[in-house]
Amino acid sequence: MRRFVRRSDLGIIIGCIFIFALFSLWNPQQWFNWGTLSNIGQYTAILGLLAIGQTFVILIREIDLSVGSVYGIVGITFVGLESSNVGVFVAFIIAMLLALLIGLVNALLVIRGKVSSMIVTLGGLFFYRGLIYVTTHGAVTGTPQAARENWLSQLFGGHWLRIENGFLLLLLLAFLCANALYQTRFGNHLLALGGDPASAESQGVPVNRIKTSAFCLCSLFAGLSAVVTLANNPSTNVSLGTGMELQSIAAVVVGGTLLTGGRGTIFGTILGAFFLTAVRAEMIALGAPPSWYISFVGIALLIIVTVNTLLAKRLKLA
Amino acid sequence: MAKTDRAGDPRKPLISIRNVSLSYGNFQALTDVSVDFYQGELVGLVGDNGAGKTTLIRIISGINPPTSGEVHFDGERITKFHPKKAIDLGLECIQQTIGICDNLSVGRNYFLGREPVKRVLGLPFLDKKKIRETSAKVVHDFGLRDTVDVDDEIALLSGGEKQTFKIARAVTFRNRVIIMDEPTNHLSVRERAHVNELAVQLKQQGLLVIYITHDIFQIHRIADRIVIMENGRKVTDVPRDAMSAEALEGIIRDGGRAPAKGPKVA
């Protein structure tokens, strides 16, 4: 196991060291700037939380294309409820319950309906986005001032020792998830299911329960990511989270997790999210037009996955 | 009923299949099959492709419920068919292509579905020390190379070693029934001999071993009893000594000529 852990995220570890060194030498003033780094930390947290959830789903050979819309609808529900008088805490609980419900629906359709997760969640991508437009009529207010000062908003959106709380939350949850994945029965069952579903089932792994957990975790992380985003940045709009599903998948894959399931690490996913975020920040800092970012994600994805595949082959033969 | 010389056996059968039929839609995969299996017995289940061997095993291992008929395990009638139930009753089906996850280590595969845990701060974590030590001891007792490290991915083992591993795992979890589905396909001569030796040892330890194969000559050397299936029916059920391998092969060959073509249920 420890050998395999070392292997699957090797590419992204090298990639992160490389860009860190490159940016440090190329543009040290802007790179070693607390504002830049903490900004990168915040966006890494947002993308990283989404990508942790996506990792669980991809590890069991499924995919969740709905996370961008789930991120949107949960976030907008959270903001909307904050503006009513239920209080921030209740708003948070209801928003997370909504996320959980969406995860359950995805799992139900995949398991009972026997529809491929790509179709189920593609449906979700459109449906939840549409629901946002319908329910809000296209107009969303930001977080009200009172809610911004609430302890919960401060917990998810504030700072601690000048570090963004969202980033600390990401590290904490990544640590917990990595342990859940590699040190518990749940994790072993999940990896087994991703490696060989028929074999896992033959040994008594509760396949449906594991699948349900993975989809629920994925939606919950998407919802949490939205809460972290909005606790930090009160203004929002109906397109919140558009395209985030593909970025989260990119972060997972760049992080060394195989789309064929069974192999991957939470650590790699976090580095993948950091990698994509850091490069975007640096491109903006260097004055490259922001639209280049999308092309860059494509190129980075291809390079890193190719390197990962070659490395995996090399190491297997050795 | 089967007219074996066990008909008057005072021992109760461990598994008793009574008038079982199974159809998938219009296709009749099994027709009125009755057969008993006893503890401490090595039974060869032989027949051509599509004869119904695998279908019968799928019923015994709880994957499919029969359309009609009864299955009794240790005197108790089975009403709920589920793989988990079969596992709990101590039945393990060893198949060529199923049973191990290549992405996991040898030790993790060994304990898959039965992982030992230890509590750390009240939370259940995998007991990696136990996983490593127990699995290492068992796989080496069963004749795997000393160089096999149980922390390595199981994908590094050879085909024969994987089969041996599955048998070792099945046995040490105190199973009562081991079903081997074509266990020696694609194995080298030496590996094949090793797997067959293990099958005999399991029987001697008092387990029921059901050995599915195409190769009547191979199974005739080791089995106590041979059951031949054809077109979803049991056509022969004889003790090994009652017929020669050549005569049994003749039955399979003749049965293979007549049947109408139906969809294969492998």
How large is the ipTM? Answer: 0.83
Q: For A195, which of B95, B103, B113 is closest by C-beta distance?
A: B103
Say how far residue B244 (Cα) sits from the centre of its chain.
24
* CATH architecture of residue range(s) A2-313: Orthogonal Bundle (1.10)
- Hey, what amino acid is at A117? S
Residues of A in contact with B125 (CB under 8 A): 179, 183-184
Superfamily of domain B1-90+176-266: P-loop containing nucleotide triphosphate hydrolases (3.40.50.300)
Choose among B83, B115, B151: nearest Cβ to A1.
B151
| Domain spans, chain A | 2-313
Q: Do A199 and B98 touch (CB under 8 A)?
A: yes
Return d(Cα B212, Cα B46) in angstroms, integer.
6
Report the chain A residue with the minimal C-alpha distance to residue B150: A1
Residue A251 to chain B, least CA–CA distance (Å): 22
Q: Which residue of A has its CA nearest to B132?
A: A1
Is the minimum CB–CB distance between B206 and chain A shorter than 8 Å? no
pLDDT tens digit at each of 318 positions of chain A: 445 445 678 778 888 888 888 888 887 877 777 888 888 899 999 999 999 999 999 999 999 999 999 999 999 999 888 888 788 889 999 999 999 999 999 999 999 999 999 999 999 999 999 999 998 887 787 777 777 778 888 788 777 878 888 899 999 999 999 999 999 999 999 999 999 998 898 888 899 999 999 999 999 999 999 999 988 887 788 888 888 999 999 999 999 888 888 889 999 999 999 999 988 888 887 787 877 777 877 888 888 888 777 776 766 544
Report how far residue B125's alpha carbon sits from residue B127's, in angstroms, rounded to the nearest whole number. 6
Distance CA A41, CA A265 (A): 20
Contacts of B164 (CB under 8 A, 6+ apart): B139, B142, B143, B144, B191, B194, B195, B198
The Cα–Cα gap between B220 and B228 comes to: 12
Q: Is B115 on the interface with A (CB under 8 A)?
A: yes
